[in-house]
C-alpha cells in the first residue's frame, strides 16, 4: 500500500517511485505524487524524508528532515 497524503485543499495524493538512469549512467530513484493509487509504483514514505506542501497551489514534494 502506498503512502497517501491529503493536502490543504482536500485532495488526496499517493507517493510513487521510479528508478531512472541519468546521462552519466548513474541510477537514481525519483519520487512523485499522483492522484490515483498505482499498485506497481506505490511506495511508503522513505526514512529521513518529510512531505512539504506549497501553500499557494497545494503541490506536494519530498524534503529531507
**pLDDT average per 10 residues of sequence, the chain (65 residues):** 93 96 96 94 96 94 94
pTM: 0.89
How many helices (H) and strands (E) would you count in the chain? 0, 5
Break the chain into its structural domains and give their ranges: 4-64
Contacts of 52 (CB under 8 A, 6+ apart): 60, 61, 62, 63
Looking at residue 10, what is its pLDDT?
95
Longest dimension (CA), the chain: 40
Res 1: pLDDT:
80
Amino acid at each position: 500500500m502506498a503512502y497517501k497524503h491529503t493536502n490543504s485543499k482536500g485532495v488526496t495524493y499517493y507517493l510513487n517511485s521510479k528508478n531512472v538512469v541519468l546521462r552519466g549512467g548513474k541510477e537514481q530513484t525519483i519520487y512523485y505524487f499522483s492522484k490515483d493509487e498505482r499498485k506497481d509504483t506505490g511506495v511508503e514514505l522513505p526514512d529521513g524524508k518529510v512531505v512539504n506542501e506549497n501553500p499557494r497551489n497545494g503541490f506536494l514534494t519530498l524534503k529531507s528532515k
